[in-house]
Amino acid sequence: MADKDYYSILGISRGASEREIKQAYRRLARKYHPDVNPGDKSAEAKFKEINAAYEILSDKEKRQKYDQFGDQWQYAEQFAKAGQQWTPFRDFSQSSGSTIFQFGQGDLDNIFDDLLRGFGARTARHRVRPRRGRDIEHPVEVTLEEAYRGTNRIVNLAGGKRLEVKIPPGVKNGSRVRVAGKGMPGHGGARGDLYLLISVKPHPLFERRGDDLHVEIAVPLTVAVLGGEVRVPTPKGKLALKIPPETQNGHAFRLTGQGMPHLGNSSRGNLLARVKVVLPTSLSPQEKELFKQLSQLRPG
């Protein structure tokens, strides 16, 4: 995906606001979502492209690096995550277009410390009291389904190390998941911690409010008037919902315990299914006649 223009994929300008980015993503995700296009491989590929573009452009830090470094933005973020005080910049004087990293004074001091420590030198610097390592933060984006059931991620740490971390069910935008002892090394003290900064992608069907989920359900006019049964989508599958006779458009049914898990315990929020009455089209002459008779029976 590095050679693709994420702005073009979402159909927005480079100066688009966060709201415009989210609106473009929701519109395209609804159109190309696999549930809407079952078995359509091209739609599935387009959906993956849209998600990849949104993952970068919806994250302020990633977007800034993408705008600055283009296909090299991952390298800049890798060094930032490692907590190094290096200044990355693009060297446009070279035809290769490579990225150069400039060492700050603090990094040189650390390098000299390591060299001296390796040769057993005893300096005043080594006699300072132990210091705990710095905490580091790592942004992680998950889907609503992953936030519902929990998931795992592979995180790249300093020195090329890879760590599999567990993201618990119920996380939401702004959740911080602590991974103890996986931060920066200390100076004679304990390592710092790793904090996963969670963001949850918007979903084309569900709107999350706290731990409650809201969804629209299409109900045929005849079912709304006479009563019947419809299928309601949930993060774990579809449920049958009985529709009482004369159900009004916009009425919301509460499905207790079918929402998102509460982070840290086994309880769950609710699912609110709002009725969207679907009017019939392409009426036959007989159907039109029946509606005429109804209008005469119930004028106004």
For residue range 75-125, list pLDDT tens digits in order.
665 555 554 443 444 333 333 333 333 444 444 444 444 444 544 444 444
Last residue of a domain, one of 98, 127, 156: 127
Of 63-67, 148-152, 245-249, the poorest mean pLDDT is in 63-67
Over range 215-234, report the average pLDDT. Answer: 96
Query: Is the same domain home to 65 and 96?
Result: yes
Last residue of a domain, one of 165, 200, 235: 200
pLDDT band at 157 (very low <50, low <70, confident <90, very high): confident
Helices 41-57/60-69 angle, 10° precision: 100
Domain that holds residue 143: 136-200
Does residue 53 form part of some domain?
yes
Does residue 173 form part of some domain?
yes
Last residue of a domain, one of 94, 127, 160: 127
Give every CB contact of residue 247 below 8 A, 6+ residues apart in sequence: 219, 224, 227, 275
E runs forming strands in 113-251: 136-142, 151-156, 162-167, 176-179, 194-200, 207-209, 212-220, 228-234, 237-243
Over range 24-51, report the average pLDDT. Answer: 88
Q: Which H helix or E strand runs over 214? A: strand 212-220
Tell me which residue of 164, 173, 167 sits closest to 149, measured CA to CA: 167
pLDDT band at 180 (very low <50, low <70, confident <90, very high): very high
Query: Is the same domain home to 220 and 284?
Result: yes
128-154 pLDDT per residue, tens? 689 999 999 999 999 999 999 999 999
Does residue 54 form part of some domain?
yes
Tell me which residue of 176, 260, 169, 179 sits closest to 214, measured CA to CA: 260
Does residue 65 form part of some domain?
yes
Does residue 88 form part of some domain?
yes
pLDDT value for 39 = 85
